[in-house]
Amino acid sequence: MGRLFGTDGIRGTANVDLRPPLAYALGRAVAYELAGAGGCLVVGQDTRRSGGMLVAAIAAGAASMGTDVRIAGVLPTPALAFLAGSGAFAAGIMVSASHNPADDNGLKVLDSRGLKLDEPAEDALEQLIWRAEELGGPRNAGIGRVADAPDLADRYREDRRRLAAATPCDLHIVLDCANGAGGATAPEILAATGARVDVIHNQPDGVNINDGCGAMAPASLAAEVVARRADLGFALDGDADRLVVVDRHGRVVDGDQLLGVCALDRLARGALPGGILVVTVLSNGGLEAALASAGGRLVRTPVGDKYILEGMQVTGAGLGGEKSGHVIVLEHASSGDGVVTGLELLAILGRAGRPIDELAAAVPLLPQEQRAVPARRKEQWEADPVLGAAIEAARRRLGAGGRVLVRPSGTEPALRVMVEGADPATVRELADALAALAGERLH
């Protein structure tokens, strides 16, 4: 049996391979390992219909171990992280599959610091999940109390509104909430800057989260930015921990360029500790070159925002992120937060007095292509000699300035292929060829 925890918690198709018994067992395991009898667990969810079902199961499991549970309702993952790290809770569990389709869901565990667990801690929880019924539990008087606590989200709102108030802005912004959890908090926080905020895709019905909208599908946002003659657009994903930016012309700003704009601004102000930006192995070589030319340095980690944070902790960096739009600004948050990223960018635009498209042009990128290949045997790619030979041949063809990265997805049954190099036609050809071969060999 494969490992339950991927790069971002436990994920699966809700009520198919992610059922209430697993959520119940996780609740018991987290209560046993992180909270204990008399402790308190905070649980939140995004707008998926399956969220309430899984929250109820988690709460029942934790209460059966004597742990109190506070159900915070629909709120962003960074808000749940903020609450978990507030000192009032022993741990937190967020029920969300982030940017994935509505039929999926996920279980993300956070410790008392509001941080995602490292792999040894996840492994310990996984062992407890498999023997959850052996953990025992108290009789009636010792059972934990479960209570709805929707007002908990106000603590996050107040903190982010203070940050927004310190970021005066007179721009016109179109905000795409992805019909997700960010709609509960993001519009009012961004409006607290003084910006004019037009909100779209904020009518969640349990099944339309990330459906043709949000960070994974910003085309409708781009059209609205142009139609409304706005200065820029912000697209959140389903749990609002990432942000995709659209410029005034309706063009999506590459995530590596967004990171570069933030890093170069902080580097120029002496506010980038060690001159270091932490990114994943997927980030573009052009970002590395732009930062190096300004006197900074790039540090790469495996894919996943928890690895970004670990890299930041090891290097002492204050800024890190993924090209997907996960950005960690450590002085404000210990996890990716789409609203914080937006406020960071608005502050930069205010200082520069220039639009985002002009600032992004300072971070020219190398041609890069990514492919997601459905693969039943995704973990076996390194053992396939034919695929291995093709990868090495592609690297030789690209030369010293090129890169080929192949890795199994941590969130879905797929193999991910990335090719980067100087010539766009060659990069595209090699990406297509490797993806096709991987599909044949690992189906």
Asked whether the predicted pLDDT for residue 1 surpasses 60, the reply is no
**Of 50, 64, 96, 98, which one is the catalytic site residue?**
98
**Contact partners, residue 67, CB within 8 Å, separation at least 6:** 31, 35, 36, 37, 38, 39, 40, 41, 90, 144
Contact by Cβ (8 Å): 111, 86: no
Strand partners, 298: 277
Q: pTM value?
A: 0.91
Token pair belonging to 235: 């697209």
Q: What is the pLDDT of residues 383-402, one digit of tens each?
A: 889 999 999 999 999 998 89
Rounded average pLDDT over 251-275: 97
Q: What is the pLDDT of residues 320-332, one digit of tens each?
A: 999 999 999 999 9
Known catalytic residue: 50? no
Confidence of residue 2 (pLDDT cuts 50, 70, 90): low
Rounded average pLDDT over 241-265: 97
Structural domains of the chain, ranges and CATH numbers in brackets: 5-148 (3.40.120.10), 155-250 (3.40.120.10), 253-338+353-360 (3.40.120.10), 368-442 (3.30.310.50)
Confidence of residue 7 (pLDDT cuts 50, 70, 90): confident
**Contact partners, residue 372, CB within 8 Å, separation at least 6:** 409, 412, 414, 415, 416
Dihedral-angle region of residue 343 (phi above 0 means left; psi in -120 to 50 means alpha; beta otherwise): alpha
Q: What is the CA radius of gyration of the chain?
A: 22
pLDDT on residue 303: 87
**Contact partners, residue 239, CB within 8 Å, separation at least 6:** 46, 76, 77, 94, 96, 98, 180, 181, 182
Q: How far apart (Å, rounded) are the C-alpha atoms in residues 287 and 210?
A: 28
User: Percent of the chain having pLDDT more than 90?
Assistant: 89
